[in-house]
Structures are given as structure tokens and as C-alpha cells.
Amino acid sequence: NAGVMQNPRHLVRRRGQEARLRCSPMKGHSHVYWYRQLPEEGLKFMVYLQKENIIDESGMPKERFSAEFPKEGPSILRIQQVVRGDSAAYFCASSRLGLGEKLFFGSGTQLSVL
């Protein structure tokens, strides 16, 4: 049973470009979470999604960031017009149920903005 798969593992973008980060949850998991880890900082919650629904996006920056988890396919975290401050490791996690379940994390996508 494959774990949480994130791709790409590393992503380089120039300022102003768009970044698309993908996350395939574990088989049977319908809850997806995105976290961001800025350099020398801790992990911060960004958004919680179930299939086709955004449940909690309280940690998402108000502009340029969006997330989706369609009925078919992986969850996507999209960052438009990237800036240098977006450089970070982005982790996706999934769980089978929403409440109290342990989370399974992917290996992350390291975004570097030049």
C-alpha cells in the first residue's frame, strides 16, 4: 500500500510564474491536508480538504494560493505569481477519517523561487 505521494519532489520557478504541487493520498483516504515549512521555521497548517470540498482554509494566504481535491485525481496546491518568500517545503498529509486520526505525510515538495 503506497504512502502519500507528492510530486514533484523539487520545483524551481522564477518570480511571477505559477507553481502546481500534487498530492495523491493513501489508498482509501479521503481527507487531505497541506502544510508549509518555511526555512528555519516549524510546520504550519494551510488547508484541509475532502473530496470536492474545502473544509478549512484558515491557514492559506489570502491571495495567490488555492487548493483543490477533485473527485478524480490528486489534490493540487496552486501558487500563482510566485515570489521569493514562497520558497519552502510543502507537505501533504492524508487520513482515512477526519476526526482524531493519525496523519500520514508525504515527503514534500521543495519549492525554490529564483
Partner 1 sequence: DAKTTQPNSMESNEEEPVHLPCNHSTISGTDYIHWYRQLPSQGPEYVIHGLTSNVNNRMASLAIAEDRKSSTLILHRATLRDAAVYYCILRDAGGTSYGKLTFGQGTILTVHP
17 interacts with partner 1 by CB under 8 A: no
Nearer to partner 1, 65 or 91 (CB): 91
- Give the span between the Cα atoms of 39 and 90, in whole angstroms: 11
* Element housing 108 (H / E): none
Per the CB < 8 A criterion, the answer to whether 48 and 56 are in contact is yes
Which of the stretches 60-68, 70-78, 80-88, 89-97 binds partner 1 when contact is defined by CB under 8 A? Answer: 89-97
Shortest distance (Å) from residue 9 CB to partner 1:
10
- Give the span between the Cα atoms of 76 and 23, in whole angstroms: 6
Binding-site ranges for partner 1 (CB under 8 A): 4, 31, 33, 35, 42-45, 48, 55-56, 59, 91-93, 95, 98-108
